[in-house]
A and B are shown apart, each in its own frame.
Chain A
Amino acid sequence: EDQVTQSPEALRLQEGESSSLNCSYTVSGLRGLFWYRQDPGKGPEFLFTLYSAGEEKEKERLKATLTKKESFLHITAPKPEDSATYLCAVQVNSGGSNYKLTFGKGTLLTVNP
């Protein structure tokens, strides 16, 4: 059974205090790993897709990295507007053209001014 575990469940940072969120996964064959941001009362918003170990992607203060067992979302010098829940999801290689995503429970990030 495919499993995605995110840690910590909640993280509180001061503005400018860099940190990382973790997403560990156990899947039969990884096709892609996705990061989403979700603001309260809204649907998840796409951030990154990573496909292979060693791959990195950046967007503003966020950088996502991938190994064979986990992914990290690094947040450099965060601002209060980075406060949100960050979701990790995996897409696995299946027999058909099936693009189901399995999500972790998310990390609630709060950045205080």
Chain B
Amino acid sequence: NAGVTQTPKFRVLKTGQSMTLLCAQDMNHEYMYWYRQDPGMGLRLIHYSVGEGTTAKGEVPDGYNVSRLKKQNFLLGLESAAPSQTSVYFCASSYSRSENNYGYTFGSGTRLTVV
């Protein structure tokens, strides 16, 4: 049982390049999330999805797009990377039922540097 898997683990981009971060979960979770974590800022929600084919904006969505074509996958895209998007990106997933005692299950993160 792998839980939440993120690829790639590390990436260096040049300003203006594009890339897609992939998140895959094998727990049959309904909800999936993308967060970024920056020093002194904590975890901030970028986008989230409450089910296959649905997405919604979080706290800091500008410059990012997402897609949830399959229940198990949640993709985060950067169309034109900027240095301000240098961060560690975490994907997470959770159950949707009310007995959600475990919060999120997180992936191990993607460390992205934009130069």
Seen from chain A, the residues whose Cβ lies within 8 Å of a Cβ on chain B are 32, 34, 36, 41-46, 49, 87, 89, 91, 97-106
Cβ A106 vs Cβ B42 within 8 A: yes
What separation, in Å, do the CA atoms of A42 and B40 have in the docked complex? 17
What separation, in Å, do the CA atoms of A42 and B104 have in the docked complex? 14
User: Chain A contacts of B96 at CB under 8 A?
Assistant: 97, 99
Given A43-B90, A99-B31, A100-B45, are A105 and B40 neighbors across the interface (CB < 8 Å)? Answer: yes
A-B contact count (CB 8 A): 57
A-B pairs with the 8 shortest C-beta distances? A43-B106, A105-B42, A103-B43, A34-B103, A44-B106, A103-B42, A43-B108, A49-B101
User: Chain A contacts of B31 at CB under 8 A?
Assistant: 99
* 8 other A-B residue contacts (CB within 8 Å) besides A87-B43, A99-B96: A43-B90, A45-B106, A46-B104, A46-B105, A49-B102, A97-B50, A100-B45, A101-B104
Query: Which of B4, B45, B90, B103 contacts A91, CB < 8 Å?
Result: B103
Determine the residue in chain A with the shortest Cβ distance to B41: A105
What separation, in Å, do the CA atoms of A106 and B101 have in the docked complex? 21
- Asked if B48 is at the interface (CB within 8 A of a chain A CB), the reply is yes
Cβ A100 vs Cβ B101 within 8 A: no
Q: How far is the CB of B89 from chain A (nearest CB, A)?
A: 10
User: Chain B contacts of A105 at CB under 8 A?
Assistant: 40-42
